[in-house]
């Protein structure tokens, strides 16, 4: 049950970012989000741009 809940939440977040990218909001908001997430995960400053590029391909 927990796994299903986790996957559903993950999918919802992914769908949310798909919607954001559809309206091109990621140009303003997505890089900042990725940077904050990356820094929170302990990534170096230059690593988050690579993370952003990888995520952009997913969207």
| Confidence (pTM) | 0.27
| Residues belonging to the chain | 59
Confidence class for position 27, pLDDT limits 50, 70, 90: low
Residue 38 gets the label, from left (phi > 0), alpha (psi -120 to 50) or beta, of alpha
Residue bearing the bigger pLDDT, 44 or 8: 8
Tell the residue number behind the tokens 């299903």, with chain if given. 4
Q: How many domains does the chain have?
A: 1
pLDDT of residue 54: 72
CA distances, 3 to each of 8, 15, 16, 36 (Å):
8, 18, 20, 26
Range of the domain at 37: 2-58
pLDDT of residue 53: 73
Confidence class for position 55, pLDDT limits 50, 70, 90: confident
Structure tokens at 21: 């990218």
Structure tokens at 1: 């049950």
């Amino acid at each position: 049950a927990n796994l299903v809940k986790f996957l559903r939440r993950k999918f919802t977040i992914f769908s949310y970012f798909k919607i954001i990218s559809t309206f091109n909001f990621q140009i303003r908001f997505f890089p900042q989000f990725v940077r904050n997430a990356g820094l929170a995960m302990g990534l170096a400053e230059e690593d988050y741009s690579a993370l952003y590029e990888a995520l952009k391909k997913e969207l």
